[in-house]
Amino acid sequence: MTNVRVAGVGLTHFGHHPERTSRDLFAEAGLSALDDADVAAGDVESVYYGNFMGELSEHQGHQGPLAAEALGVDAPATRYESACASSGVALRQAVRDVRNGEVDVAVVGGAERMNNLETAESTEALAIAADDLYEVRAGMTFPGAYALMASAYFEQFGGSREDLAHVAVKNHANALGNDHAQYQKEITVEDAMESPPVASPLHLYDACPVTDGASAVVLVGEAYAESEDLDAPVAVTGTGQGGDKMALHDREDVATSPAATDAAEEAYEDAGVSADDVDLAEVHDCFTIAEVLATESLGFFETGEGVDAARRGVTTSDGDLPVNLSGGLKAKGHPVGATGTSQVAELTKLLRGDHVNSEHVPDATTAVAHNAGGTVASAVVHVLEEVEA
């Protein structure tokens, strides 16, 4: 099997773009990625596109061909949907196809447009990632679901709202210099603690925003990279996926995320690394408690011991294991279908040394991206490593 290189990455600004369509946003990110890779659109053999709610927000399904058309690419294109893990799942499939020699050049990415909807409409649209029959019809929304998970965590393992506030403060600080971030705004622990409640124990600064945006990466096989003399020093060396029951009440434990644990174990084994080898990570922090659950599932901390990692400075930009140097979903934003590949784009730049926060990880060689769907009913983990260009 061939090594899968990340030849180029592209991102739009994450934020409010209600006047732009998702295909327009994806064109910006995808063409930027092709330019970054120095790869011609005519060389692209397949497009893998993540989108969650296009039918609801834009009355548009069958978006794969539209994504390819937006890039000027004449190649097969498929839309992948796995809630917030949509482009992460798309990336996993692309990695496997490039590895197996079925595709030499792939564009993988995603886009989401949500701010053209009213708040109630976007909330209702996002809720379809939960179990409609047993959760949504009972009034469950994702702030409420993650509040239940946070409450269960606190009851089983301890921790406090202040611990979660440190997660929010850290990620806002990391986003300050990131031009792609929706919130380039510093906050304090006091700001987070005093912000309005959303669903107890979660408050406003525990939640990510509603975001429009797009991301893309260009994946190539090693032989193609060598033949075209591409500067592609980052490879996707591991991929894993896990699943869990959809509804929280059907799970044995809502204070852990076993789908992510399974995905991480598979990705580490695939790459031939362990959690101890990881230098930095981008994790799916749709809510602050989600970052805690992610870091434990990834094996960075024992179960019940990750809640105060930000407070202790372990996961801050100058800590032993920086997490979400992009600002994470919390501050960079969460355009649902674009999030998975945006994490990989950020990590690629951090490992290459051309990210605004690369100075915090100058010797980093191994990174992990963790992308989750819903209340982690689905999860995808990828290992990225710096390799010889």
Which active-site residues does the annotation give? 84, 334
- Contacting residues for 163 by C-beta, under 8 A, at least 6 apart: 292, 307, 308, 310, 311
**For the residues of 115-179, what is the DSSP string, one character each?**
TTS-HHHHHHHHGGGS-TTTTGGGT--HHHHHHHHHHHHHHHH---HHHHHHHHHHHHHHHTT-T
Alpha carbon distances (Å) from 98 to 88, 94, 108, 220: 15, 6, 12, 7
Q: What is the largest CA-CA distance in the chain?
A: 57
DSSP designation for 352: H
- Distance separating alpha carbons of residues 95 and 237, to the nearest angstrom: 9
CA dihedral 292, 297, 300, 305 (to 10 degrees): 50
- Distance separating alpha carbons of residues 70 and 312, to the nearest angstrom: 45
- SS3 percent helix, strand, coil of the chain, rounded to 5, is 40, 20, 40
The backbone region for 333, taken as left when phi is positive above 0, alpha when psi lies in -120 to 50, beta otherwise, is: left
* Inter-residue contact 218 to 106 (CB < 8 Å): yes
DSSP designation for 102: S
- Contacting residues for 385 by C-beta, under 8 A, at least 6 apart: 234, 235, 237, 271, 273, 351, 365, 366, 367
